[in-house]
Amino acid sequence: MRFIDSLRGGIEKLISDKNAFIIGEDIQEPYGGAFKVTKGLSAKYPDNFIATPMTEQAFTGMGIGMALEGAWVTVEIMFGDFITLTADQMINHAAKFHDMYGEEMHFVVRTPVGAYRGYGATHSQSLESIFMGIPGMQVVATSILYEPGKLLTYAMGTGVPTLFVENKTDYGKQLLIDNDDFWNRVQLSEGFPIIRLGMSDRKPDFSIVTYGGMVSIAMEAAKQLLYEEEIETEIIIPSLVSDTMHINDYISADKVIVLEEGVSEFGWGAEIGYNALSSGRGCKRIGARKSYIPAGKVAEAMVLPCVEDIAECMIEGFR
């Protein structure tokens, strides 16, 4: 199954099971969303789709208002870069209503994040870490290792306002939800899944902790390092990325690499790394350089994490 088909299926399930509404720009026919996630759905469920003018902060707030009245609301923000426009509603409204007023809110903001496609500085960022430290809301990240549609319906069911990030490069990919001929895929936790990709039953040399679109890069690097250097790696992929307290319990190697697509400095990796280091493990982090994301292919690649960064970190980084 393709990533996008699972996601679309999850949205359709919300509409058929719940009093659900989808709000966003260009989500209706004939467009079906900038990344075609809702393609075909608005024709089938016209009453559940609310197409909007370009007013992200207003329609995010409108979704929150509907959620306060008991609706199950998904807001689509066309590019993850524009979640800055939703920030006040998410941080000062939804999160406060949930945390301070005790409101159960079935409210998710879905958005595509990530680079590697030449979209340039304001259409490529992974800004979700900005929201990870905010009490009263949660940040959930999809990957190809777990059905995004199931993850969406689960996140929606928690009643906690959610930022739900999807990586642009994942939409067309096939999901890896069974073991393949190389990876042993294990789901380590119920609820919000934590997935482990392992190579054998032995204790691995390295654990790579990562999420989202970085999973593909981590998998490629791990394979390469096994064949070229006989280094064995496990990859740990949480989905509730704003909860970093428990991830450490699932790490088996002594050497940990935290890999994220967002800027490394002040990023998610610092939290995971702190817990890893506190438990006596070695830890290094890899993420984007502190730069805008250039449109040019060569320069973009220099800013973003890549397979070579992981290889270099494993071979040289822990000496």
Partner 1 sequence: MKDYAGIYRECYRIRCFEKKVEQGFSKGLMRGTTHGCIGQEVIPVIAMREINREIDRAVGTHRCHGQVLAYEPDTYRLACEMMGKRDGFVKGMGGSQHIKTGGYLTNGVTGGMAVIGCGMAMAMQKKKSGGLVLAFIGDGGFNEGYVQESLNLASVYSVPIIYICENNRYAMSTPTTQYSAGDFERRVRALDIHYIQSTTRNVDEMIDAFKSGFRFVREQSRPCFIEVMTARLCGHSKSDEMKYMSEAEIRDNQTKDPLKWLEGLISDTDRDDIRTEIEKEIDDAFRRAEECDEYGLERK
Contact positions vs partner 1 (CB under 8 A): 21, 47, 50, 52-53, 55, 57-71, 88-89, 92-93, 96-97, 100-101
- The residue (of 37 and 67) whose beta carbon lies closer to partner 1 is 67
Taking the complex as a whole, the smallest distance from the CB of residue 61 to partner 1 amounts, in Å, to 3
Q: Which long-range contacts (CB under 8 A, 24 or more apart) does 89-93 make?
A: 89/57, 89/60, 89/61, 89/64, 90/60, 90/131, 90/134, 90/137, 90/161, 90/163, 91/131, 91/134, 91/137, 93/61, 93/64
**Would you say 45 or 292 has its CB closer to partner 1?**
45
Is the CB of 6 or the CB of 74 nearer to partner 1?
A: 74
CB of 71 to partner 1, least distance (A): 5
> Smallest distance from the beta carbon of 94 to partner 1, in angstroms?
9
Closest to partner 1 by CB, 67 vs 197, is 67
Q: Whose Cβ is closer to partner 1: residue 2's or residue 96's?
A: 96
Closest distance to partner 1 from the beta carbon of 50 (Å): 7
Nearer to partner 1, 97 or 164 (CB): 97
Closest separation in Å from C-beta 217 to partner 1: 38
* CB 84, min distance to partner 1, A: 13
Residues 6+ apart with CB under 8 A from 92: none
The full DSSP string for 247-275 is GGGG--SSEEEEEEEEESTTSHHHHHHHH
69 or 316: CB nearest partner 1: 69
Shortest Å, Cβ 89 to partner 1: 7
Q: Note the Cα 33 to chain centre separation in Å.
A: 19
Which lies closer to partner 1 via its Cβ, residue 163 or residue 311?
Answer: 163
Give the dihedral of Cα atoms 211, 145, 199, 190; nearest 10 deg. 90
Q: Smallest distance, Å, CB 123 to partner 1? A: 22
Instruction: Please count the CA atoms within 13 angstroms of the CA of 263 that sit on its side-chain side.
Output: 11
